[in-house]
A and B are shown apart, each in its own frame.
Chain A
Amino acid sequence: MTSSIELPHFLIVGAALFALGMVTVVTRRNAVGILMGVELILNAANVNFIAFNHFVEGPGKITGQVFSIFVIVLAAAEAAIGLAIVLAIYQTFRTIDVQETNLLRE
């Protein structure tokens, strides 16, 4: 089963995913929205890892996929810690608007 979909197709999808995640991180005022943008960026990195693993690294080698698994692990840890911080911020300030949370302690 051959396909005319090559490496650049996946790289462009990854680039667009990264750009959309970056827009989310840069422009959101909601802290949870910013965390969603970070997840999108990590997914874009994963798409690139696995695309290079498939098209460049060659058959029988899976280093790219190993790295993608590590990225998924760290994304899970990041989401848990980040959302815990968001909840702590909400308990302190009663808002999670990042424009208004400008103090490190009450």
Chain B
Amino acid sequence: MAEAPSNLRVYLVRLAVIFAGLLLFAGSSIAHALGVLPTGLTVAAQYFGVMAIVWGLNGFFFRTVALSWFTLPVFSAAAFGVLFLIGYFVQTVAGPFLIDSTGRFIGLVRLVDLIFYAFAVMTLGGAAGCAFSRNIIYSAWSLLFAFLGVAGLYVFLGADFPAVAQVLIYVGGILVLILFAIMLTKQIGEDPKLTNAHLALPMGAALAAVTVGTLAYMAVMAPWKITPAPSYQPVSAALGTAFLTDFLLPFEVASVVLLAALVGAVIIARKEIKEHLDTVLE
């Protein structure tokens, strides 16, 4: 600009050009969607719209970039290509997750599926970390993710009480107990490679591959008698009723088992008792 006109007028011109470009772009897209405009003309019109937007934006944001008659189409082509790729991605990659073949919106269902896969990946990733990590502390922490992922799968299966029990007992109890045992046995900090060493890992991995292959084949091929309408009702009250009616004897036996485990763990883990017994025996 040799002689700078007033800034206000420049801005207004740029703004008008941006607006016109947006109108051209949107109008040609809508016309193409309605079947009025053929594809070649649509692409050309969209390209000119993008070019107008680029030229207009250049006045606002890219003041240092001097756009000539040559660089303006090139930049516009680049911007148009990026927009085209984004549109293509939305239409062909993300679209099937949102619209099914008959055009209904099924985003929620696909979202539920994605959440299931997220929980499955979390569970199996945590389990794999527990199985293959070389440091026992890392194994324990990845066990946390495995337990939380399994709790998410329980929620997915409409089992609310087992999910909460999983979080409370496994994450809040057993995992803390495992971490205590790791700390008390002083295995960390010595040599991380030796704290959680493997024995014949390739053979173990082969065994696991055979097992999961066989079980997955059975799971897919077996003719399960699937119930038509699985329910997502809350189950806590029904579980309490079942424990006190149909499963009363196992319930009482479980309480005895827990008491025996409590007493047994205290007796086994206490050091003084053993020394006391030694002195008595002598």
Contact = CB atoms under 8 A, between A and B. Distances in A.
Interface in A55-96: 55-60, 62-63, 65-66, 68-70, 72-81, 83-88, 90-91, 96
A99 to B, nearest CB: 7
Contact of A30 (B153, B196, B231): B196
Interface string B111-135: 0110010001001100110111000
Nearest 9 interchain pairs by C-beta:
A59-B231, A15-B215, A11-B219, A77-B261, A19-B208, A84-B269, A84-B265, A27-B204, A20-B127
A102 interface: no
Interface string A1-27: 111111111111111111111111011
Nearest to B202: A27
Interface size classification for chain A: 35 or more
Contacts of B178: 32, 35-36, 39, 79, 83
SS of B interface (majority): helix
B162 A99 contact: no
Nearest to A2: B109
A55 B109 CA distance: 18
Given A65-B161, A87-B181, A10 B212 contact: no
Residue picked from A10, A13, A28, A84, most chain B C-beta under 10 Å: A13
B194 to A, nearest CB: 9
8 contacts: A9-B120, A36-B178, A59-B227, A59-B231, A66-B242, A68-B159, A73-B258, A75-B169
Interface in B219-271: 219-220, 224-227, 229-233, 235, 238-239, 242-243, 246-247, 250, 254, 257-258, 260-262, 264-266, 268-269, 271
B54 interface: no
A90 B184 contact: yes
A37 B130 contact: yes
Interface of A: 1-24, 26-30, 32-33, 35-37, 39-40, 43, 46-47, 50-51, 53-60, 62-63, 65-66, 68-70, 72-81, 83-88, 90-91, 96-97, 99
A51 to B, nearest CB: 6
Contacts of B173: 76, 79
A32 B207 contact: no
Given A13-B120, A15-B216, A73-B257, A1 B185 contact: no
Given A12-B220, A40-B131, A90-B185, 10 more contacts: A1-B232, A8-B216, A12-B219, A27-B201, A39-B143, A40-B130, A51-B157, A54-B159, A77-B261, A87-B185
